């Protein structure tokens, strides 16, 4: 863990934004958008596996096994980081994004002061767009903090993962993380409308259903702030409106037109005279001209609307660089923003045993009847706890012989007079059916007591039957 911590601290000291660690390869740092190799630091494959085991929870390890990648955020030596672990030809690879321990203000991020007006909105849709690594999440965090410091509101964030932890000041802030506090963005958006929110933050608009629910939330009188991967305003609106079937696109365009308040596209560009990157923005406001363009499906006119909307506070990227960046007397250094600092939120991260399943009854939390590909992780990772009483090994033996336990019981009973040969024949159950029977029997046997058997839900039916059959036998 010390080696991992030293890499993170070195990255902060050197003013890097990202770190990449993989087995048998030099550590890679990104500084001012450029990749740099550190040949003095190499990690073995075993070291990578070891650090992954240390930093991931049981649930996250199960996600890694199921999906071959996992996202998380954590704090190392007062440095907040976002981590993505994924499988490659070199084994596991770790991509790390450095985050401030406290949420930076809009001024510290060198953003245009007009963005403070977003915090004053009571309803509508605000889109923060840009390429990966352009600072969208940090901009949204600054906007949330601006609201938090200036007015009373209930803010609910839906994130993947939770990057910045907020302290409730004037606003009451609740944060939900995908995979830890909600199963999907869709479910989170369905839930949030019943949670009395004033402001809803959606980590990313990834698919049509999330987009639809987000628009519905904005249309129902909430302020919704969301991110979208797009490098131009026209591209962002085109993607948002045309992600739906043709017959639904007109309705979606009208929803976007009625709810859109701000669309900000953010790029990071190195400024030679200061030696680091600063954000260059394109700002679109939802005025009547823009609303008409959206309703009439005239997306190519978006850029012209931005150029003509100077009096409404709109900027093209060229005019933003020319009229705003050249007039700024001093810029805040990213190295100062991302330097190690204690997290402002010292609240305990608590996982309720009611949700985790520790207080559940004897029934398994996930049904083994689902096919392998459809099985989700249970409260205990890939394992459900089933309670089998004595005699289950005999049922397993019947299965190996191709006879179901039910058939075996029938065979041991006297046949009623006049029974046909067909009634005396005992066909074998399928493997899936056999396991279903074992599962049902185990639930009945639970009431009677017995020893515990841990079942691996990722195993095949054959492996499960073998595990059940051998349970309780003395090891050779």
Nearest to 386 by CA among 475, 463, 474, 467: 467
Q: How confident is the model at residue 442 (pLDDT cuts 50, 70, 90)?
A: low
Angle at 279 between CA 172 and CA 37, to 5 degrees: 105
pLDDT at 419: 47
> When comparing pLDDT for 448 and 167, which is higher?
167
pLDDT at 15: 82
Chain-wide mean pLDDT for the chain?
81
Assigned token pair, 124 = 């509508």
pLDDT at 73: 87
pLDDT at 428: 43
> When comparing pLDDT for 384 and 469, which is higher?
469
Dihedrals phi, psi of 357, to nearest 5 degrees: 95, 0
> When comparing pLDDT for 470 and 435, which is higher?
470
At 88-97, the pLDDT tens digits run 999 999 999 9
At 390-428, the pLDDT tens digits run 344 444 444 444 444 444 444 444 444 444 444 444 344
Q: How confident is the model at residue 447 (pLDDT cuts 50, 70, 90)?
A: very low
- How buried is 470 (Cβ within 10 angstroms: 0-12 exposed, 13-18 middle, 19+ buried)? exposed
The stretch 422-439 carries a mean pLDDT of 47
At 305-357, the pLDDT tens digits run 999 999 999 999 999 999 999 999 899 988 787 766 666 776 777 778 887 65
Measured distance CA(304)–CA(321) in Å, rounded: 18
pLDDT at 475: 52
Nearest to 382 by CA among 34, 125, 60: 60
Given a cut of 50, whether residue 467 has pLDDT beyond it is: yes
CA distances from 363 to 24, 385, 454 (A): 45, 8, 12
Cβ atoms within 10 A of the Cβ of 430, count?
11
> When comparing pLDDT for 46 and 454, which is higher?
46
pLDDT at 107: 95
Q: How confident is the model at residue 365 (pLDDT cuts 50, 70, 90)?
A: very low
pTM for this entry: 0.69
Q: How confident is the model at residue 382 (pLDDT cuts 50, 70, 90)?
A: very low
Given a cut of 80, whether residue 146 has pLDDT beyond it is: yes
- How buried is 415 (Cβ within 10 angstroms: 0-12 exposed, 13-18 middle, 19+ buried)? exposed
> When comparing pLDDT for 15 and 453, which is higher?
15
Measured distance CA(355)–CA(179) in Å, rounded: 12
Structural domains present in the chain: 2-99 (3.30.450.90), 113-333 (3.40.50.300), 356-414+426-470 (no CATH)
The stretch 186-205 carries a mean pLDDT of 96
Nearest to 188 by CA among 172, 200, 206: 200
The mean-pLDDT minimum among 21-30, 108-117, 124-133, 396-405 falls in 396-405
On whether the CB atoms of residues 163 and 137 are closer than 8 A, the answer is yes
At 223-270, the pLDDT tens digits run 999 999 999 999 999 999 999 999 999 999 999 999 999 999 999 999
Assigned token pair, 133 = 């690594």
């Amino acid at each position: 863990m010390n080696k991992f911590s030293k890499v993170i601290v070195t990255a902060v000291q050197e003013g890097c934004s990202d770190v990449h660690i993989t087995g048998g390869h030099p550590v890679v740092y990104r500084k001012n958008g450029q990749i740099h190799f550190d040949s003095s630091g190499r990690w073995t494959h075993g070291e990578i596996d070891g650090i992954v085991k240390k930093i991931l929870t049981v649930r996250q390890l199960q996600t890694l096994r199921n999906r071959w990648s996992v996202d998380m955020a954590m704090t190392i030596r007062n440095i907040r980081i976002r981590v993505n672990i994924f499988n490659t030809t070199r084994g596991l690879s770790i991509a790390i994004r450095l985050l401030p321990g406290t949420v930076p203000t809009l001024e510290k991020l060198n953003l245009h002061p007009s963005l403070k007006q977003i915090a004053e909105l009571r309803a509508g849709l605000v889109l923060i767009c840009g390429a990966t690594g352009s600072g969208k999440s940090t901009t949204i965090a600054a906007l949330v903090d601006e609201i938090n410091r200036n007015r009373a509101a209930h803010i609910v964030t839906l994130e993947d993962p939770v990057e910045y932890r907020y302290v409730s000041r004037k606003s009451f802030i609740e944060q939900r993380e995908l995979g830890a506090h909600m199963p999907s963005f869709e479910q989170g958006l369905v839930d949030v409308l019943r949670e009395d929110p004033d402001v809803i933050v959606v980590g990313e608009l990834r698919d049509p259903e999330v987009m639809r629910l987000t628009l519905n939330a904005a249309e129902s009188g909430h302020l919704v702030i969301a991110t979208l991967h797009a490098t131009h305003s026209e591209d962002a609106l085109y993607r948002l409106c045309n992600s739906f079937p043709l017959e639904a696109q007109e309705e979606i365009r009208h929803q976007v037109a009625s709810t859109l308040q701000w669309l900000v596209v953010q790029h990071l560009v190195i400024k030679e005279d200061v030696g680091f990157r600063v954000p260059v923005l394109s700002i679109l406001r939802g005025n009547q001209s823009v609303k008409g363009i959206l309703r009439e499906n005239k997306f190519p006119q978006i850029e012209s609307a931005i150029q003509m909307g100077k009096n409404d506070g709109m900027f093209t990227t060229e005019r933003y660089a020319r009229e705003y960046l050249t007039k700024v007397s001093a810029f805040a250094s990213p190295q100062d923003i991302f330097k190690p600092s204690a997290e402002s939120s010292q609240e305990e991260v608590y996982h309720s045993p009611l949700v985790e399943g520790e207080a559940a009854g004897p029934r398994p939390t996930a049904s083994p009847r689902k096919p392998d590909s459809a099985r989700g992780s249970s409260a205990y990772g890939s394992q459900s706890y089933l309670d089998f009483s004595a005699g289950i090994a005999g049922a397993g033996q019947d299965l190996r012989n191709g006879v179901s336990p039910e058939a075996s019981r029938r065979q041991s009973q006297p046949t009623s007079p006049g029974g046909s040969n067909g009634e005396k024949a005992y066909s074998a159950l399928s493997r899936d059916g056999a396991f279903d029977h074992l599962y049902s029997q185990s639930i009945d046997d639970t009431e009677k007591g017995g020893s515990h058997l841990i079942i691996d839900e990722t195993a095949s039916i054959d492996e499960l039957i073998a595990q059940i059959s051998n349970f309780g036998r003395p090891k050779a």
